[in-house]
């Protein structure tokens, strides 16, 4: 019988891509999502259970119904700007919500856990590239909430045997090349979709958040990874746990840093359009540079992020932007 995997946030951007790939790989993805930032239309590849991580009894019910072999935990608030203004939201939804989820998992005997963490747990480190052993000094409540969950996972491994793979994502971009699912946030804050909105006139223009950083062109540098490559790593991480391997932490980034201005130039080339933009002030909570300095996922999981060229990510995002959407 096909194995069930509980996918929290399965109606969101990354979770919906995970469900697609899990189903293709022979698993049954069970989406658990409160639809606050997710989309019902994005749930296409397995059963849907609407619910909130703050509702412990609902979580217990879903674990009892499906008896999943593993959890892939994507559901979270993830906006740096919002986190800086409203830290309580992040501590409640991300940390308390995950505590409920972990308790429900261990109570039901589900002891394999794949967790989406973030490079924001590292914070700014004088422009060095970051590997899994780098110190974690998050600059904002989003990164702090994810680091707290990483600590929580270690405690539940010691006490209850909850084995886990933690993926610290760099910047996720692109979309399913088949166009079945894609990135759709309301409001949209992420650089590439905001830029595509600006290119086709859905918003007035893009504001570049600061051009006076200590970087090659003054704008912030990020390491972008294609969402399909990111999910390939998650499936490899799931198999890693199901094969009985120990808990691990992996960075998911390519090691190539792009400044905001470089992303703008690639977008103009790929879409063959002008990118209307203006330079604005810095955004509170932003790190100057976040670039992965590690090949650990490549070495241990055999991960190969072949779609993660900037042009491919923009091309796939642009195709989705023009042809795909969810009902609001
Ligand atoms: N950014 C920008 N204008 C925008 C959105 C983002 O200049 O409208 C910059 C942001 O300051 C950061 C980079 O683009 O340097 C990526 O930001 P995003 O919000 O996409 O992801 P984050 O790195 O915050 O997770």
List pocket residues of ligand 1, CB cut-off 6 Å.
Answer: 80, 171, 189-191, 194, 206-209, 220, 222, 260, 283, 286
From 14, 80, 191, 192, the mutation candidate for ligand 1 (largest count of ligand atoms within 8 A of CB) is: 191
**CA 191 to ligand 1 centroid distance, Å:** 5
187 prior amide bond cis, ω within 30: yes
The answer on 126 and 112 residing in a single domain is yes
Q: Is residue 10 in a domain?
A: yes
**CA 197 to ligand 1 centroid distance, Å:** 14
From 222, 282, 292, the mutation candidate for ligand 1 (largest count of ligand atoms within 8 A of CB) is: 222
Atom of ligand 1 nearest to the CA of 287: 15
Range of the domain at 246: 4-173+224-251
* CB of 115 closer than 8 Å to CB of 153: yes
The answer on 294 and 154 residing in a single domain is no
Backbone angles phi, psi at 33, to 5 degrees: -155, 140
Q: Is residue 265 in a domain?
A: yes
pTM of the model: 0.96
pLDDT digits (tens, 9 = 90+) for 209-222: 999 999 999 999 99
* Pairing label, strands 112-118, 163-169: parallel
The CA distances from residue 123 to 6, 129, 217, 258, in Å, are 30, 11, 21, 17
**CA 167 to ligand 1 centroid distance, Å:** 20
**CA 276 to ligand 1 centroid distance, Å:** 16
Q: Is residue 182 in a domain?
A: no
User: Is pLDDT of 80 > 90?
Assistant: no
User: Is pLDDT of 13 > 80?
Assistant: yes
Q: Is residue 186 in a domain?
A: no
The answer on 203 and 235 residing in a single domain is no
Q: Is residue 113 in a domain?
A: yes
The answer on 266 and 237 residing in a single domain is no
The answer on 234 and 99 residing in a single domain is yes
Q: Is residue 68 in a domain?
A: yes
Count of CB atoms situated within 10 Å of the CB of 65: 12
pLDDT digits (tens, 9 = 90+) for 148-204: 999 999 999 999 999 999 999 999 999 999 999 999 888 889 999 999 999 999 999
Atom of ligand 1 nearest to the CA of 286: 11
- In this structure, what token pair is assigned to residue 289? 């540079």
The answer on 232 and 86 residing in a single domain is yes
The answer on 272 and 207 residing in a single domain is yes
Among 209, 234, 251, the domain boundary falls at 251
pLDDT digits (tens, 9 = 90+) for 107-163: 999 999 999 999 999 987 776 788 999 999 998 999 999 999 999 999 999 999 999
Task: Please report which confidence band the pLDDT of residue 326 belongs to, taking 50, 70 and 90 as the band edges.
Answer: confident
Q: Is residue 41 in a domain?
A: yes
Residue nearest to atom 1 of ligand 1 (CA): 191
Average per-residue pLDDT in the chain? 95
CATH label of the domain that carries residue 54: 3.40.50.720
Nearest to 164, CA basis, from 117, 107, 122? 117
The answer on 283 and 262 residing in a single domain is yes
Count of CB atoms situated within 10 Å of the CB of 204: 10
The answer on 234 and 105 residing in a single domain is yes
Q: In three state form, how does the secondary structure of the chain look?
A: CCCEEEEECCCCHHHHHHHHHHHHCCCEEEEEECCCCCCHHHCCCCCEEECCCCCHHHHHHHHHHHCCCEEEECCCCCCHHHHHHCHHHHHHHHHHHHHHHHHHHHHHCCCEEEEEEEHHHCCCCCCCCECCCCCCCCCCHHHHHHHHHHHHHHHHHHHHCCEEEEEEECEEECCCCCCCCCCCCCCCCCHHHHHHHHHCCCCCCEEEECCCCCCCCCCCEEEEEEHHHHHHHHHHHHHHHHCCCCCEEEEECCCCEEEHHHHHHHHHHHHCCCCCEEEECCCCCCCCEECECCCHHHHHHCCCCCCCCHHHHHHHHHHHHHHCCCCC
Atom of ligand 1 nearest to the CA of 221: 15
The answer on 11 and 156 residing in a single domain is yes
Number of domains in the chain: 2
The answer on 316 and 236 residing in a single domain is no
Among 251, 269, 295, the domain boundary falls at 251
Rounded-to-integer distance, Cα 223 and Cα 321, Å: 21
Q: Is residue 234 in a domain?
A: yes
Atom of ligand 1 nearest to the CA of 195: 8
Backbone angles phi, psi at 167, to 5 degrees: -110, 120
Rounded-to-integer distance, Cα 83 and Cα 86, Å: 5
**CA 108 to ligand 1 centroid distance, Å:** 39
CATH label of the domain that carries residue 207: 3.90.25.10
**CA 190 to ligand 1 centroid distance, Å:** 6
Residue nearest to atom 21 of ligand 1 (CA): 190
Span 19-48, average pLDDT? 97
The answer on 302 and 161 residing in a single domain is no
Task: Please confirm, yes or no, whether 142 is among the known catalytic residues.
Answer: yes
Atom of ligand 1 nearest to the CA of 206: 8
| From 13, 122, 142, 169, active-site residue | 142
């Amino acid at each position: 019988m096909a194995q069930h995997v509980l996918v929290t946030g399965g109606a969101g951007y990354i979770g919906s891509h995970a469900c697609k790939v899990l189903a293709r790989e022979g698993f049954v993805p069970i989406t658990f999502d409160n639809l606050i930032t997710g989309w019902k239309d994005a749930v296409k590849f397995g059963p849907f259970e609407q619910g909130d991580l703050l509702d412990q009894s609902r979580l217990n019910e879903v674990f009892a119904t499906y008896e999943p072999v593993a959890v892939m935990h994507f559901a979270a608030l993830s906006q740096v700007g919002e986190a800086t203004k409203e830290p309580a939201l992040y501590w409640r939804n991300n940390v308390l919500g995950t505590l409920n989820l972990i308790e429900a998992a261990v109570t039901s005997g589900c002891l394999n856990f794949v967790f989406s963490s973030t490079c924001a747990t590292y914070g700014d480190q004088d422009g060095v590239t970051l590997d899994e052993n780098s110190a974690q000094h998050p600059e904002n409540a989003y990164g702090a909430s994810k680091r707290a969950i990483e600590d929580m996972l270690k405690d539940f491994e010691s006490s209850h045997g909850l084995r886990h793979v933690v993926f610290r994502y760099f910047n996720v971009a692109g979309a399913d090349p088949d166009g079945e699912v894609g990135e759709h946030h309301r409001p949209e804050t992420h650089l590439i979709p905001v830029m595509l909105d600006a290119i086709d006139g859905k918003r007035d223009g893009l504001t570049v958040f600061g051009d006076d950083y200590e970087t090659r062109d003054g704008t912030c540098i990020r390491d972008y990874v294609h969402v399909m490559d990111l999910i390939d790593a998650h499936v490899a991480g799931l198999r890693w746990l199901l094969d009985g391997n120990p808990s691990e932490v992996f960075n998911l980034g390519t090691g190539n840093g792009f400044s905001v201005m470089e992303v703008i130039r690639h977008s103009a080339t790929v879409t063959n359009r002008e990118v209307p933009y203006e330079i604005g002030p810095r955004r509170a909570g932003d790190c100057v540079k976040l670039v992965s300095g590690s090949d650990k996922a490549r070495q241990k999981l055999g991960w190969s992020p072949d779609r993660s060229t900037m042009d491919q990510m923009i091309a796939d995002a642009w195709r989705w932007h023009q042809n795909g959407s969810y009902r609001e």
